[in-house]
Structure 1
């Protein structure tokens, strides 16, 4: 079932099947990370400006932080010629299906041709790890960018799906059918927030951090219906510092871009 309006919601989040929080995270090395082309507004003035040594040190600090939080990092080596492969949420949607006790991933169909060659490396990785690998049906002409746009509701079997810039809304009915999951759709309306994970960060079952300007009235109503507490990041921090591109791996600690003091105070 796919939902586009708060009026159509026929469930309470607390009544949905419990979903265990992941205890592992996948990181891709930034060895080949760079800005070589422009596929979102933030890249337009940054071609060739990546300080690779700094990026690698930041990546190592992130890996160490996950380890300290008892979240085990798995590492996939980046590949030459794929500078955006380091953004490893975008190539797959990992899932655990409680009613069938199955683990797997749904492979992405990248919107930009420059990124399409990333997906097979992730398919191979997850197959080697013993995950089931699912693909969107061939008869659906839809792009889909994994967990960049599809985000699990913490602790419940419910999927949030963003669309408008990278992922086609038609992809979500196929995913709902593949995984037997309810999907709540959020239309993205501002190109600065080209993925759902740039403007929507669930912290736990009841709390969510959002960039209000990224969403329309219907999207805000859906979020307010499904979460007890909605925290709005300041516009400058959400838009220019990616405050909502944060991660709360355990419901207690939030990994967020340095300098987002206005967000952390809320």
Structure 2
């Protein structure tokens, strides 16, 4: 079932099957990271502006943060000619079926031709990791950008799906059939928030960070209906500091771009622990913490 309006919502979170949290984190080396083209508003002033030495240090700090939180990094090598491959949340949607103890991945269909060649590298990676590799139907004319737009609700077999810029709404019909999962589809209405992971950050089953300006009224109502506590992020922190592109891997610590003072204060008020990281070089290409990782079982 695809839910796009609050009136249609007949879900009760406590009746949705549970989903164990993934414990491993995929990180892709930034060997070839740069801004070489413009496919989102954040890149427009930054072509050729990446300091690669600084980017490497920032990436290593992210890797160390996950290691410190007991999430084992699994590394993929970035490839020449694919400067955005480091944003490894975008090329796939990993999934796990507790009933059959099986794991798989749905490959993305990248909206931008500049990124299409990233996907086969991740297909091979997941095959080597023992994942069943699935694709959207060949006859479906739709884009889909993995966990840039499709987010698992923490602890539950429920998918949040953003559409409007990089992912087509028709992709969620196919995903719902393929994965037998309910999907809450949210229309994105501001090009600065071109992926769902730039404006919605589920922290745990009850809490989420949200950039309200990214959604229409129906989208905000759907989020309010399924998260007990919605933490609204100041617009300048969401839009310019990628505060909602944070990641909470353990329900307690929130890895977030440094300097998001208003967001961090709210996180602490709700008993979360902000872990500030500098991802400023990667923000030049339109991504921060969440974009730079992929969680797997």
- The alignment's TM-score, normalised by the length of structure 2, stands at 0.89
Greater Cα shift, 236-245 or 5-14 = 5-14
Aligned to 1:65: 65
Aligned runs of 1:58-137 on 2, under 5 Å? 58-137=58-137
> Runs ≥4 in structure 1, deviation > 2 angstroms?
98-101
Q: Distance in 1 between matches of 2:26 and 2:153?
A: 19
Aligned to 1:186: 186
Aligned to 2:205: 205
Structure 1: segments with no counterpart, 5+ residues: none
Secondary structure of 2:218 counterpart? helix
Aligned to 1:252: 252
Secondary structure of 2:243 counterpart? coil
Q: CA deviation at 1:14?
A: 1.4
Aligned to 2:263: 263
Q: CA deviation at 1:98?
A: 2.5
Q: CA deviation at 1:101?
A: 2.4
Secondary structure of 1:165 counterpart? coil
Secondary structure of 1:254 counterpart? strand
Secondary structure of 1:86 counterpart? coil
Q: Distance in 1 between matches of 2:20 and 2:200?
A: 20
Aligned to 1:224: 224
- The alignment's TM-score, normalised by the length of structure 1, stands at 0.99
Secondary structure of 1:230 counterpart? strand
Q: Deviations over 1:181-234 (max 9, x none)?
A: 000000000000000000000000000001010011000100010000000110
Greater Cα shift, 222-231 or 6-15 = 6-15
Aligned to 2:39: 39
Give the alignment's Cα RMSD to 1 decimal. Answer: 0.6
Structure 2: segments with no counterpart, 5+ residues: 267-297
Q: Distance in 2 between matches of 1:63 and 1:88?
A: 13
Aligned to 1:4: 4
Q: Distance in 2 between matches of 1:155 and 1:126?
A: 22
Q: Distance in 1 between matches of 2:132 and 2:247?
A: 25
Q: Distance in 2 between matches of 1:78 and 1:104?
A: 22
Secondary structure of 2:142 counterpart? coil
Give the paired residue count.
266
